[in-house]
Amino acid sequence: MTDAGLLSPGTHRGDAHTDDTAVLQALLDVEAAWVAAQADAGLAPPAAAGAARAAARAEDYDAVDVARRAEGGGNPVIPLLADYRRRLEQLDPGAVRFVHRGLTSQDVMDTAMMLVLRRASVPLGRQLRATAEALARLVEAHRGTVQAARTLTQHALPSTFGLKAAGWLAGLQDLEQDVAGLGRLPVAYGGAAGTLAGSLALFPGAPDAAEQAVDLARRWADELGLGTPPHVWHTSRRPVLRSAETLGAVCAALGRIANDVLLLSRPELGELREPAAEGRGVSSAMPQKQNPVLSVLLRRTALTAPQLVAQLHLAASQYVDERPDGAWHTEWPALRELARLAVAASSHAQELTAGLGVDTARMRANLDASGPAVLAERISAALAPLLGPGPDGATGRQRVQAVVREHATDREGMLEALLDLTAGTVLADGTPVDRGLVADLLDPAGYLGANDLLIDRVLARHRRGADAPPAAPGTPAGAADHDAAGGPAGLTPRSSA
């Protein structure tokens, strides 16, 4: 049986870093890195580390066979270990005894999942940065492209497409630190019952065995490019939840872009259009159609991700004792699918934003079609204070609003009616209310609020982020990851002496 993605079109773009081969490779790398960490600590010969790495090639193993045998112990680590030991024995029989000692299956499985996420974060981050660059170009190019702002599906006020694209960009900027955190995930390290007893046994008779066991975890983390955890997290799942929330938020931010594109690319609006590509957007029954497939797939992902995040929260709430009994197993497919979806979605978004077509004339035409009533807020704010009560007792504001309602779609009619209503009035500075002033009030381009300031702030933030060097994988998230002496924080135990 295979899962080629027939029921999840487009997710193949994330397969290279999240499929079964990627998971298998991560599991092997975790085991090999543990041998290498022991060699670095002087507990194993350097040759054992070399052999352990040479034996850790996913293409040398049968993932289907490992998956079937995983039923026996409830996880894939157990059958894979047996295969790994056999292969390593062919390369270096003496190295076999260093494999997995002091570890438990959960240490390996959790650490491998963190490694899968870190590796998936590389294309994810790269594609999101490319998407941000494309959005920044759209923002700058269309800061003056007037269009209707819509609230509750209706035209509300004039705005610009540049400001809309700036909102998309800001949504990605808000996630930059969270996405960077996927490159600083922790190893899982606790042994059979979360006490580190198995690792302490590697240092028999040493008065500082506990400190050396924790230092071995640091060496292991360094080998893998991961971080050292602040505590044993066998049943405290914040690293998983934080990762899931980040991936879910990425899917949501990209889904927000897709929603706008889907709406504005409807033929009756026609303000945006997806980039064309051979074979994309075709219909089996209607050859004239060009469906916005990239946005459809992004929306699919945004609708799927929340349930996966919820599954992980549900699992975390069901952990018991020092090792879980079933809740842990539900994490693996949910977390892997989230990573797969997010990487694929970031690829789709990069392509969508880089080639997004913008019909500026249609944007202006759609805005104009809503008539001068779209400027009711501006007209009322400028003219209502100049008017006294009407013969019927209506306030100045009510008198202006009555004109706006009567001439909602008739610019010239509204212009004349407002001139009649305000005849003989002057502004606070003495400027008479004349045809030129009222005509300016009816120009949508003159009522864009803080458009330029808001756009400049987003672009400045983008430039600061683009100039900052990316954090190296495995770099600690901050000083909290290390104690004052520079060692790993949180896990540092007290000596039994």
How far, in Å, CA of 336 to CA of 340, rounded?
A: 6
Please tell me the total number of residues recorded for the chain in this structure: 497
Instruction: Kindly report the average pLDDT of the chain as a whole number.
Output: 91
160: which strand partners?
146
Contact 466, 177 (CB under 8 A): no
The predicted structure's pLDDT at residue 75: 96
- The predicted-structure confidence for 269-318, as pLDDT tens digits, reads as follows 999 999 988 766 555 555 555 799 999 999 999 999 999 999 999 999 99
Residue 471's pLDDT band, with cuts at 50, 70 and 90, is low
**Sign of CA pseudo-dihedral 88, 93, 94, 96:** positive
CB-hemisphere CA count at 13 Å for 374? 27
- The predicted-structure confidence for 407-443, as pLDDT tens digits, reads as follows 999 999 999 999 999 999 999 899 999 999 999 999 9
From 86, 238, 266, 283, the catalytic residue: 283
Nearest to 136 by CA among 490, 405, 459: 459
Helix-then-strand count for the chain, H and E = 19, 4
Nearest to 267 by CA among 295, 286, 292: 292
- The predicted model gives 386-405 an average pLDDT of 94
Per DSSP bridges, beta strands 272-273 and 154-160 are unpaired
Let me know if 323 is a catalytic residue: yes
From 57, 69, 323, 362, the catalytic residue: 323
- If one compares 154 and 497, the residue with the highest pLDDT of the two is 154
Helix (H) or strand (E) holding 447: none
Contact 322, 234 (CB under 8 A): yes
- If one compares 173 and 2, the residue with the highest pLDDT of the two is 173
The predicted structure's pLDDT at residue 497: 29
Instruction: Kindly provide the b/e burial profile for residues 207-238, where b requires at least 16 CB atoms within 10 angstroms of the residue's own CB.
Output: eebbbbbbbbbbbbbbbbbbbbbbebbbbebe
This prediction has a pTM of 0.90
Helix H segments across 318-472?
327-354, 360-369, 376-383, 396-406, 411-421, 435-441, 451-467
Domain ranges in the chain are 371-445
First to last CA, the chain: 56
CB-hemisphere CA count at 13 Å for 271? 21
- Cβ-in-10-Å burial (0-12, 13-18, 19+) of 136 comes to buried
Q: Is the pLDDT of residue 468 over 80?
A: no
Let me know if 256 is a catalytic residue: no
Contact 173, 462 (CB under 8 A): yes
Nearest to 224 by CA among 199, 193, 188: 188
DSSP state of 236: -
Nearest to 334 by CA among 367, 307, 355, 354: 307
